[in-house]
Amino acid sequence: MCRGVAIGALLVLALVNGCGTEQKWLSAPVVDSAKGSVNSPARVAPKSGLTYQSSDTQQLQQDEFSNPGMLAVDAGERLWRSAPADETPACADCHQSMRGVALRYPKVAHHNGPLENLEQRINRCRSEHQQQPMLAYESSELLALSAYIGQQSNGMQITVQIAPEARTYFEAGKDYYYQRRGQMNLACHHCHELNAGRQLRGDLVSQGHGNGYPAYRLEWQSVGSLQRRLRFCNVGVRAEPHDYGAQEYVNLELYLRWRAAGLTVETPAVRR
Amino acid sequence: MTGNVRISLPQSAKPGEIVRIKTLISHPMHNGFRSDSRGERIPRDIITTFTCHYADRLVFRAELQPGIAANPYLTFSAKIDVSGEFRFTWTDQQGKVVEETRYLAVDV
């Protein structure tokens, strides 16, 4: 069934290319000003993924009780307050409020380390200060902690500051965003800039902002990280997804945060 | 069976008042037809029964089926007459039970 659809889709692309009237969105040149510049907002006003959801899904997110992502936030709070082992501090023993923290990631670790996202920072804290093994990416524990930390920034506005030491990672993330990939030969911007708001089969294409992650996706029936969503996008254009925690995705997360400047954090969001 | 539960119920109500109760429990509700990333069939694992007792009287009961999505969310109402305990129980197909209680006081 899946293979049938894949072959069908390729045939359609081949036909479009073959008859010499290549659709505009496949060949549209990248206008440089559309990318904006560092520390100046992008040209198009950002629209949260929430606006592309059905009213039922929007209500589910906005009702703090019935939002199923709050189950992960509750679990994260319990983990936060409990010591992982005897004589080991709990997260809450060192940290107070984490409001605003999620907005600062990905960032470059202070001792000249690589660009790090929130999940990697949680794991570094775990190994350095709690002497615990790192949590697997996409494990329910790591998702619970990142959802709990992210939720504390809920409602805060995303800012555009990119630190000088993060510039090269930011540029790499931006290049990734505009790089065509996969059998479909599509870059992120072909869907999420040139065709945002238009129909892709039964769905509306969103602008592709990550302001609600970790988010509860109805399709996954669970909470998932932004990187899980990015892997899903890669598979969608029939490209090989990178491993969880890959530098390419962390760079892209930084670029996406910049791109989402002006939106508010919605963690834990509900998406279809 | 994971026991991560959220319950919304007012702490007090007037006699004769109808209160709205909301419950949410984290559970994968595997329907037995999905497969994992290696193509292996994930066995069926669902909550089969939910009950709510108020002052030892059954006020709401639901039988859940494999078609119900993960993290079942149930909402219902109850008419309040006496102060008493609400007892919520979820039973899965292995017979494991998660139980939560909340106390509701009647305003005099």
* Contact list, B70 vs chain A (CB under 8 Å): 68, 221-222
| pLDDT exceeds cutoff 90 at A28 | no
Are A218 and B69 a contacting pair at CB < 8 A? yes
What would the pLDDT profile of B31-61 be if each residue is shown by its tens digit? 999 898 899 999 999 999 999 999 999 999 9
Confidence check: pLDDT of B97 > 80 = yes
- Alpha carbon of B84: minimum distance to chain A alpha carbons (Å): 23
Look at A65-69, A262-266, B1-5 and tell me which has the smallest mean pLDDT.
Answer: B1-5
Would the pLDDT of A206 be above 90?
Answer: yes
Residue B107 distance to chain A (closest CA, Å): 25
Query: Which residues does A59 contact at the CB level (< 8 Å), separation at least 6?
Result: none
Mean pLDDT across chain A: 85
B-chain CB neighbours of A77 within 8 Å are none
Interface of B with A in 5-64 (CB under 8 A): 6, 8, 22, 24, 26, 28-29
Is the ipTM, as predicted for this complex, more than 0.90?
A: no
Question: In chain A, pLDDT over 70 holds for what percent of residues?
Answer: 84
Average pLDDT, chain B: 93
Would you state the pLDDT for residue A37? 52
Would the pLDDT of B101 be above 90? Answer: yes
pTM of the model: 0.83
Residue B24: its chain A contacts at CB < 8 A?
A: 65-66, 68, 70-71
Q: A28: which 2 tokens?
A: 């549209």
Report the sign of the C-alpha dihedral through residues A177, A178, A180, A184, in that order.
positive
Distance from CA of B24 to the nearest CA of A (A): 7
Position A38 confidence tier, pLDDT thresholds 50, 70, 90: low
Average pLDDT over residues A196-220: 93
A162 or A32, which is more confident: A162
Question: What is the C-alpha separation between A244 and A242, in angstroms, rounded?
Answer: 7
Of A30-39, A57-66, A127-136, which gets the smallest average pLDDT? A30-39
- The yes-or-no verdict on residue A10 having pLDDT over 80 is no
Query: What's the confidence (pLDDT) of residue A192?
Result: 94
Task: Compute the average pLDDT of residues A135-151.
Answer: 95
pLDDT digits (tens, 9 = 90+) for A122-138: 999 999 999 999 999 99
- pLDDT of residue A53 exceeding 50: yes
Q: Give the pLDDT of residue A144.
A: 96
Q: Which of A2, A94, A191, A233 is catalytic?
A: A233
Top pLDDT among A181 and A25 is at: A181
pLDDT-derived band at B107, boundaries 50, 70, 90: confident
pLDDT at A18 over 60: no
Would you call B77 an interface residue with chain A, using a CB distance cutoff of 8 Å? Answer: no
Q: Which residue of B6, B28, B69 is in closest CB contact with A70? A: B6
Whether residue A125 lies in the annotated active site: no
Structure tokens at A260: 């989402």
Contact A68 B24 (CB under 8 A): yes
Q: What angle do helix axes A69-81 and A140-151 make, rounded to 10 degrees? A: 100
* A76-100 average pLDDT score: 93
Interface of A with B (CB under 8 A): 65-66, 68, 70-71, 74-75, 218, 221-222
The yes-or-no verdict on residue A25 having pLDDT over 50 is no
Cβ contact, residue pair A65, B70, below 8 Å? no
Q: Does position A174 have pLDDT exceeding 80, yes or no?
A: yes
CB contact under 8 A, B6 and A65: yes
- State the Cα–Cα distance between residues A60 and A188, nearest whole angstrom: 28
Sequence-distant (6+) residues with CB within 8 A of B36 are B42
Nearest CA to B70 among A17, A253, A218?
Answer: A218
For residue A230, which of A151, A270, A177, A193 has the smallest C-alpha distance? Answer: A177
Task: Tell me whether residues A221 and B29 touch, CB distance under 8 A.
Answer: yes
- Percent of all residues in chain B with a pLDDT value above 90, rounded to a whole number: 92
The mean pLDDT value for A185-193 works out to 94
The string over B20-57, giving b where at least 16 C-beta atoms fall within 10 Å of a residue's C-beta and e elsewhere, is ebebbbbbbbbbeeeeeeeeeeeeebbbeebebbbeee
Chain B hits for A221, Cβ within 8 Å: 28-29, 69-71
pLDDT at B36: 87
**Alpha-carbon distance A234 to A184, whole Å?**
10
* A71/B29 CB distance under 8 A: no
Higher pLDDT, B14 or A45: B14
